[in-house]
Chains A and B, each alone.
Chain A
């Protein structure tokens, strides 16, 4: 296909993709991107910094206002009612898919242009292609405008057979991570977390927590891999979103490896504007906690996410105070398991909106109370948990990290190309068989 038509095709496909899941919201996203484009272009034409700032603020209000309205309005109303005893009625609002992701991308566009990091796009369709680009639209990675700006108009250097083949493999790996590993682990996590609190003993609590720990990683990183892979096939190079987070030796390191693009966004657009590291210690700790509270809230309008953010923020502060030095002294092989335990415990908060239930599960994890629970372990879970553990900790040594780099790289020997093709096709069809069978669970007799 001629290069000049590629963006048009991608944009049409993205509009179709988004309107398939959110047919009404396509107008919201098209409308806001159009307005943003106009605002940013007008901002760019302003001569004084002051008038530029006015347009920046309007754009921020527009994007954050929509995010607040769709995602957080009812959460705030609910809490105002609870605190003040008022009876403000809830709004009938449906959350547009991917709003948290594309709002953050829109913000990078306006802020990067305002800061002079990059010039604005000349064509509104190019801007909409950037925001609506379907592989990353609903679940990230959050692609900063600065990182992709040049690729939108010119990515011919990425149109190589190697990049496409690499994209194919990464897409298939992501699909397999999601369908084979994450879905299997997710079923076990669901089986535990739907139990009544009194039915959860220490073993069940740990199994549920571990199942969810690996489920969320393989689910989310699987989606990211699929996005990155599809992006490569289309000539885009999206930033990595996960870098083996469970081998982290501290929570600080964990956040450099987990949801990297969100972390980078928070750092560039929130933490640094708040002063970054160049403030007094007390302000630094306050900023860390605030950034993580905000990060928690970004994940969902519920107190469990806020608490999860605060929990991570607290460990970041503790690491600045003393824990980081303790981890360093202990060495990687002790610090990694401790960090992993902290992360697992945090995921229980993240998974359960009912805070009382989440706290109960955490209590059970550390109470060493064993009794017969109705919950049973399935063989597929045990196998996938072992596979997930091996993959998650595979890169703990330099040698194994090199192997991973080769798999995710773009340079293959002639024989490796055939291996990539065969592995990719196998993973793709095995994943298809999992997807087909998972939603097929026949009833022997209808109980009616």
Chain B
């Protein structure tokens, strides 16, 4: 009689345990929220219903929930990120790359520095011509418009960009904006050129290794320069920023290591860079803090806002982040968005309107602020019709941004379709408004 074949062995049993271990750990794990920076997470466990099952929405939500809440999510992500960072010198942060000596960059800012995102000049001219019209209209109302061109990290730390990105620069959006601003007599401040001049003589770094923006020290210099420029432009006296002492340390503070935090590694690399942190203060003179400045900007302006510039030097003028979110919010605990406001009265309630965008965001300079304000003053009827129609979409878009489950869906869509998150949100909002099938 033939010997009975073994149907199981110790190897098989161990293999099955290994396969099922993550599942068992997930089922027995109570605190299953991964501690990862930048993770959009939906904490609500989907509730089963047959109708959701048959539309497939339950499965979609449950898959998403399981992906975010399985026991080893955080460990696995950190492990893989660490491996990628060590083995390939790559980081898993949306559109960010590592350059030489560990300098982290947004890839878009590298493209900008080398002119790879060059806009057609006629587009720049058309935008700036509208800005000039706005400047002239506002001037008659005693309001000054100021366009500020900030340096991005790609341009600020070109020498650390990986060789594969480096090539001869034919032209850049920054050049197009500056030369045409000069030609059209538009009030502008070229911080990009200022930082370029400053770089060889600055005692401290203007850009940190693991930060996305200018360094805190760079921010202080930028704020100082902007205040002085506005004083000249608007013929006013404003509270100035000053500092007597500077802390020089080798561990980044504030936003100077924002990329590092988002890299979600097991063990962070040494920052290996002395960064300067001036102990700043604004001149405390209420008679000087009377020029209300509205700032429309990208994330480069968040640093000065954290310093308190709006309250202490801009007479409580607001910051409109990407011409969308109002900072600080008007209602505590709730987000205010620009489309909820009366644009005309808001603008005319300020003495200076400042647009500040870094070079990586020049292709979207102002996020339609210039186009909207131009249309509002030159053809108000069509503007208000469009504005009302847009409100419907924006109402839903705001909901998406505020509800984690909806935001998660849009982030997944942006990855699937390889489109920016705000475009994915707009698509979803249009769907919710019934404007898109």
Contacts and interface: CB of A to CB of B under 8 A. Distances in A.
A374 interface: yes
B72 A432 contact: yes
DSSP majority for the B interface? helix
A421 B401 contact: no
A448 B325 contact: yes
A161 B164 contact: no
Nearest to B14: A421
Contacts of A444: 38, 93-94, 96, 106, 212, 258-259, 262
B322 to A, nearest CB: 6
A23 B59 contact: yes
B11 A418 contact: yes
Contacts of B76: 429, 432-433, 436-437
Interface residues of B, number: 68
Interface string B40-53: 10000000000001
A378 interface: yes
Interface string B54-82: 11100100000001000011001101110
Contact of B11 (A23, A161, A442, A446): A161
Contacts of A372: 167
A24 B53 CA distance: 9
Contacts of B53: 19, 23
A23 B165 contact: no
Interface stretch (B137-145, B182-190, B196-204, B415-423): B415-423
Interface residues of A, number: 45
A356 to B, nearest CB: 21
Contact of A443 (B5, B9, B55, B411): B411
Interface in B380-437: 397, 401, 411, 415, 418, 420-422, 425
B59 A443 contact: no
A65 interface: no
Contact of A439 (B9, B88, B89, B415): B415
Contact of A425 (B18, B56, B258): B18
A380 B90 contact: yes
A160 B422 contact: no
B171 interface: no
Interface string A416-445: 011011001100110011101101111111
Interface of B: 5-9, 11-12, 14-16, 18-19, 22, 36-40, 53-56, 59, 67, 72-73, 76-77, 79-81, 83-84, 87-90, 92-94, 96, 106, 111, 116, 164-165, 167, 212, 258-259, 262, 264, 298-299, 302, 321-322, 324-325, 397, 401, 411, 415, 418, 420-422, 425
30 contacts: A21-B56, A23-B53, A159-B7, A161-B7, A168-B12, A190-B418, A376-B165, A378-B88, A417-B9, A418-B11, A429-B18, A432-B72, A433-B76, A433-B80, A436-B72, A436-B80, A440-B77, A440-B264, A441-B415, A442-B36, A442-B93, A442-B264, A444-B93, A444-B96, A444-B258, A447-B421, A448-B321, A448-B322, A448-B324, A448-B325
Given A164-B12, A379-B89, A432-B72, 9 more contacts: A21-B56, A160-B6, A374-B111, A378-B90, A379-B87, A418-B11, A421-B18, A433-B80, A448-B421
Lowest 4 CB-CB distances: which A-B pairs, in order? A442-B38, A437-B80, A161-B9, A436-B76
